[in-house]
Amino acid sequence: MAADGRRGTGRTPGTATDGGRRRVLVVGDIATDVLAVLPAPLAGGLALGTDTAVRIGLTPGGSAANTATWLAGTGTPVTLIGAVGTDAAGDARLAELAAAGVDTAVARVDAATGAIVVLSDPQDRTMLCDRGANHLLPAAHVTEAVRAATDAGHLHLSAYPLFDPGSAPAALAALRTARATGLSVSVDAASAGPLAAGGEVVRDRLRGADLLLANLDEARVLAGDPTADARTAARALTALAVRVVVKLGADGAVFADQDGTLPVPAEPVTAVDPTGAGDAFAAGLLAAWLSGAAPAEAVRAGNELGARAVTAVGARPATR
């Protein structure tokens, strides 16, 4: 997928040859979000030592589960590979995924289902994470699930499992097995803090992906340049992955491969809650790319789903 529409080097994406869509495997976290939508900006807008009235709700979350749900909404066959506890929260998260049309290969483990406290304003969010069962995702379970998906053409990994010593073997098994079975691979860099803490080890784990997704903070960490603009960072990251997309929120996104960079503007909308917007972007981009779309069209599809995500509260498609 070169910037002029020609395909760059690397594995051909897993499109079907019969006009249908090959299955996408999504590997990563499943969680319950405790979401608080704030009336003031996160950065210095809240008074400390007192009470503040906010909207609080329990909503389904987890980056991989979010992306899988948005993918299902595009009509893409999708299987989510992850872990939840044997608790009521795990039952609820699996029921929601099934209702959304997501197939699951989910291990039930002896731990509480993951939970995330999300503090959100219309432009930004921060998360307090208890990975819970996600920490115990078994590598053997992931390997078996990837091998069993004989109709799959692509694997997408949300990088959160790579940062945790408990789940890193499972994430690495997903990448290794996908490559061994001929699947194309995409990775979402997930979070700047763990990327910085992981250093060169994390960079090595991301190396060789067919597609790498990162926001600007994450891209700067991976590129080793804290002041790089999006195009510079994206170009630098083509040393790690065949194709790179740097997400810029309201400013759109930049695509890069060995032939150059391509900025794509965002969809103008009124933002309500940015939670899950990056996960929705990944789903829109992947659905288009795996259907054979050119880079600008694929990134535009990502922007469209990301824009849709920020106009509603929560990380999943709004139910009707």
Question: Which pLDDT score is estimated for 191?
Answer: 85
Q: What pLDDT was estimated at residue 43?
A: 64
Per-residue confidence (pLDDT) for residue 178, from 0 to 100:
98
pLDDT of amino acid 82: 98
Q: What's the CATH number where 121 sits?
A: 3.40.1190.20
Kindly tell me the sign of the dihedral angle through the C-alpha atoms of 91, 93, 97, 100: positive
**Burial class (CB within 10 angstroms; exposed 0-12, middle 13-18, buried 19+) of 250:** middle
Model confidence band, residue 45 (pLDDT cutoffs 50, 70, 90) = low
Instruction: Please report whether residue 4 resides in a domain.
Output: no
Length of the chain: 320
Per-residue pLDDT, 46: 64
If pLDDT is split at 50, 70 and 90, which confidence band does 180 have? very high
Using 50, 70 and 90 to split pLDDT, how confident is the model at 49? low
Could you tell me the CA-to-CA distances from 165 to 63, 247, 250 in Å, in that order?
Answer: 18, 27, 34
Is 86 among the domain residues? Answer: yes
Q: What is the pLDDT of residues 250-278, one digit of tens each?
A: 999 999 999 999 999 998 898 888 898 99
- Cα(129)–Cα(291) distance, integer angstroms: 34
For 32-36, 42-46, 70-74, 305-309, which range has the lowest pLDDT when averaged over its residues?
42-46
Q: What is the pTM (predicted TM-score) of this model?
A: 0.90
Q: Is residue 70 part of a domain?
A: yes
For residues 279 and 41, the model is more confident at 279
Concerning whether 4 is annotated as a catalytic residue, the answer is no
The predicted-structure confidence for 214-249, as pLDDT tens digits, reads as follows 999 999 999 999 999 999 999 999 999 999 999 999
State which residues form the domain around 248: 23-43+53-310
Q: Cα separation of 220 and 248, whole Å?
A: 12
**Considering its fold, how many domains does the chain have in total?**
1
Does some domain include residue 134? yes
- Full 3-state SS string of 183-251: CEEEEECCCHHHHHHHHHHHHHHHCCCCEEEEEHHHHHHHHCCCCCCHHHHHHHHCCCCCCEEEECHHH
Is 66's pLDDT higher than 80? yes
Domain presence at residue 7:
no
Which pLDDT tens digit goes with each residue over 193-218? 888 888 788 888 889 999 999 999 99
User: Phi then psi for 172, rounded to 5 degrees?
Assistant: -65, -35
Looking at the predicted structure, is the pLDDT value of residue 8 above 70? no
pLDDT at 52: 75
* Residue 8 is assigned to a structural domain of this protein: no
**Nearest CA among 68, 91, 72 for reference residue 81:** 68
Pick 67 or 320 by higher pLDDT.
67
Tell whether 257 is covered by a domain. yes
**CB-based contacts of 267: which residues, under 8 Å, 6+ apart?**
303, 304, 306, 307
pLDDT reported for residue 198: 81
Mean of pLDDT values over 93-116: 97
Nearest to 45 by CA among 54, 58, 56: 54
Is 227 within the bounds of a domain? yes
Confidence category of residue 319, pLDDT binned at 50, 70, 90? low
